[in-house]
Amino acid sequence: MIEKGMKGRCSEVVTEDLTADKIGSGLVKVFATPMMVALMERTCSDSVAAELGEDECTVGTLLEIKHTAATAVGMTVTCECELVEVEGRRLRFQVKAFDDAGEIGAGMHERFIVTRSRFEEKAGRRASESKNGLA
């Protein structure tokens, strides 16, 4: 059962492939903001995954975060989340990211529980409709 107060934690080592200059979000060789966001999303998703049905998953719908400090290649980034609100299929998480020297980012992330097969089918229909000029 998904309940307020559930927590999650994920870590990764910053490699050259995760830097702003490598992924195109900037010109510096530090942990890229989009990569921090991806770690935050993964942490939140993973924190509730074991409580979902067989064909269920969560999808990210909203992020309100600040990236407040640069992280060099070779440092470890850890993200922690806490589920602070459950409203039907909507889940709201507080998230924080830290490197070896302290906090690097924080904010809120919202996810929705979806039925994976229906979600992918709907996305496929949308793609087909856009190719046929219906979108």
Cα–Cα dist 42/38, whole Å = 6
Catalytic residue of the set 19, 58, 67, 80: 67
Active site residue 56: no
Active site residue 109: no
CA angle centred on 64, ends 56 and 126, rounded to 5° = 45
Q: Report the b/e string of 45-82 with b at 16+ CB within 10 A.
A: bebbeeeeeeebbbebeeeebebeeebeeebebbbbbb
Cα–Cα dist 30/105, whole Å = 14
Residue tagged 């850890």 (tokens): 78
Catalytic residue of the set 33, 78, 82, 115: 33
Cα–Cα dist 92/85, whole Å = 5
Active site residue 67: yes
Cα–Cα dist 29/21, whole Å = 6
Catalytic residues: 33, 41, 67
